[in-house]
Amino acid sequence: MTPVELSRTVLRAVRRAVDEGELRVSVPERVVVTAPGPGGCGDYATNIALQLARPAGQPPLRVAEILRLHLAGVDGVADVVVTGPGFLNISLGGTAPAALVEEILRRGTRYGYADGPSADFAPLYCPREVRAVVVMDTVARILRSQGALVRTRCEAALEPQWADLLGVRVDGHGTQGMQGAQDSPDPPHYVVRPVPAPVDPLPLGRDAARWALLHPAAHDRPRITDDHLVQRESNPLFRVRYAHARTRALGRNAADLGFDAEPGDVRHDVIALLADHPRVLARAAAHRTPDRLARHLVTVADAVLPLLPAVLPRGAEKPSATHRARLALAEAAGTVLAGGLSLLGIDAPEHL
């Protein structure tokens, strides 16, 4: 069961509880499942019981217990435990990692994207400052990945170098025609106004400059230094791109050894992070925070790197189902890294 399928399963449990009169609430449009937090257990967790408790007029623990009974025994769900004030912690059957990897490899770099267009209209506006323009450009990319209709506007025409070297674009400039007036049915523009860059980032080149501007939170002052160019572990951008390149190299090496990736029941810490990727994209879109995605990619890279030395057989060892499953998991992680970097407007080289 994939995270998307599990979300739908929990939503069906809510509907059953409402249909049977156990809960009197409006059924939400979607349920978010994430990796369990501190004190949690299992493969995934959701706070849906806490969200429904107040409108249902019942304690969160009571709501959680009602939903737990509806989830217990569902195909693909091995166990459901209630922790804390009412979190549902869900353990899946043994095929969950394989199903997740299959979904990622099937969807490719669009894993985590919305299934179709949404009704959201997201007009964005920024001052004529290089970091603001890059952040707005990236927020627009992430919003579009979630199906939103996005229009971007800068207060004045862009510097030609920003478009040429940083790959940014806007749909218009100036304040004329902006929505948000009291008599306008359209939503107001969301103003993207991060702490400005202290110096010109263009000498870093496109990839390092965009990373330097996007990785810090909007309220943090970005560091525009040559540290973003060094190829060593102290550079988060290097770790992300290196992890991606390593996963692609493993696929080429495996082909030379005569075996392919095949998703299987292999357990590793990176699985929960890959499963969380759609939620990270959704939250980054909702809060206009591309730094969430950048930090998530660093976490995925740091988690997958220790797995990579165990992917290929050693010496006279023959490729086994475990090697194929590890290779599939590594390729899935590389796919998530590539997709995330693409949304940030950064290249993901296969050779590094």
Spatial distance between the Cα atoms of 211 and 49, rounded to a whole number of angstroms: 38
Residue with more model confidence, 181 or 64: 64
Give me the pLDDT at residue 75, please.
79
239-262 average pLDDT score? 96
Proportion of the chain above pLDDT 90, given as a percent: 74
Determine if residue 26 is left, alpha or beta; phi over 0 gives left, psi from -120 to 50 gives alpha, anything else beta. beta
Q: What residues does each domain of the chain span?
A: 3-93, 121-221, 233-343
Task: Name the average pLDDT for the chain.
Answer: 90
SS3 82: strand
Determine if residue 94 is left, alpha or beta; phi over 0 gives left, psi from -120 to 50 gives alpha, anything else beta. alpha
Spatial distance between the Cα atoms of 349 and 10, rounded to a whole number of angstroms: 38
pTM of the full structure: 0.76
Residues 52-101 have pLDDT tens digits of 999 999 999 999 999 999 998 787 888 899 999 999 999 877 556 888 89
Proportion of the chain above pLDDT 70, given as a percent: 95
Residue 244 and residue 334 in contact, taking contact as beta carbons nearer than 8 Å: yes
Residue with more model confidence, 155 or 44: 155
Give me the pLDDT at residue 181, please.
38
Q: Which residue has the tokens 């560091």?
A: 223
299-313 average pLDDT score? 95
Give me the pLDDT at residue 87, please.
94
Give me the pLDDT at residue 29, please.
86
Give me the pLDDT at residue 176, please.
59
Give the number of other CB atoms < 10 A from CB of residue 273: 21
Give me the pLDDT at residue 40, please.
84
Q: Which residue has the tokens 């590539």?
A: 338
Determine the longest span between alpha carbons in the chain, in angstroms. 75
pLDDT > 50? residue 131:
yes
Give me the pLDDT at residue 208, please.
98
The stretches of the chain forming alpha helices (DSSP H) are: 3-19, 48-56, 60-71, 96-107, 130-145, 160-166, 206-214, 236-257, 270-275, 277-287, 290-304, 321-343
Give me the pLDDT at residue 94, please.
53
Spatial distance between the Cα atoms of 288 and 217, rounded to a whole number of angstroms: 11
185 pLDDT tier (thresholds 50, 70, 90)? very low
Give me the pLDDT at residue 187, please.
64
Class of domain 233-343 as given by CATH: mainly alpha
Give me the pLDDT at residue 41, please.
84
pLDDT > 70? residue 184:
no
Mean pLDDT lowest for which of 8-12, 201-205, 219-223? 8-12
Residue with more model confidence, 279 or 203: 203
180 pLDDT tier (thresholds 50, 70, 90)? very low
The superfamily in CATH containing domain 3-93 is: Arginyl tRNA synthetase N-terminal domain (3.30.1360.70)
Identify the DSSP state of 109. G
SS3 87: strand
